Structures are given as C-alpha cells and as structure tokens.
Amino acid sequence: MLKSMNTKTPPTRPTAAELDLLQVLWRLGQADAKAVHEALLPDRPDATYATVLRQLQVMHGKGLLSRDESQRPQLYAPVHAQDKLQQSLMKDFIAKAFAGSGKALVLAALKSHVSAKERAEIRQLLANNNGDGA
C-alpha cells in the first residue's frame, strides 16, 4: 500500500527528466508505468515505455517515488507533495543563483518573464496581503 506524501525536505534533487515524470504523477495521482508513459507522450513523443519504467524504478530507488508492490502492475506515486518539493527547489535556487535574495529573484522574473496581466495580478495579491508576511 502507498504511504501518504511526505512533507520533509527531499533527500535528493530530481533531474529535469525526473521533474517531467513527477509533473505527470502529481496530475494523475498514483499510476502504473503504462499510464505515466501515455500521459507523458504529448510532451515527449520520443519517450519509450521501457525508458519511463526504468526512470520510475530509478526514482523509487532515489526516494522520490513510493511504489505499491502488492499488485500488478505496480503503482508509483510521488513521495513529496508538489508544493513542498517546489519550495525546496526554489530555496536552493535562490541561495545559489541570487545569493539568498528572494527580492533579486522576483525582480529578475518581473523584468522579463511576467506579462502585463500577470503584473496586475501580482499587484492585486500584494495589495490583498499587505503587511501579513505572506
């Protein structure tokens, strides 16, 4: 039986390919390798079933996925909740790329990666959360 999602800091950082599979599993919930492969195909049509299965097995070994071995086919699920893993990766990225400054990250993103509509939404969020530290 699969265990519930862990909220601890992940013991290992997923690769880009592993993040692709985690995105699929966060969307699907627990799934077998065939379902993961089929869900991945629209974004990665070159991915083979054998490669997906092998990657899921590696991710299980690294502690990124849990695996229900009580049935066939085996079901895989992320060990870490999406938001917790993203927060951990972001914290590491900010520390390494922006000398620990969240402000520097936000300013860099606002300069080139945010549309006018998104800026308006950000202003609204900031206005609604004024002073609460969120």
Q: Say yes or no to pLDDT of 70 above 50.
A: yes
| pLDDT band at residue 10 using 50, 70 and 90 as cut-offs | very low
Q: Say what the pTM is.
A: 0.71
Q: How far apart are CA 82 and CA 116, in angstroms?
A: 27
> Which residues touch 94 (CB under 8 Å, ≥6 apart)?
100, 101, 102, 104, 105
Say whether pLDDT at 122 is over 90: no
Percent of the chain at pLDDT > 90 equals 55
Span 91-100, pLDDT tens digits: 988 999 999 9
Print the SS3 string covering the chain: CCCCCECCCCCCCCCHHHHHHHHHHHHHCCECHHHHHHHHCCCCCCCCHHHHHHHHHHHHHCCCEEEECCCCCCEEEECECHHHHHHHHHHHHHHHHCCCCHHHHHHHHHHHCCCHHHHHHHHHHHHHCCCCCC
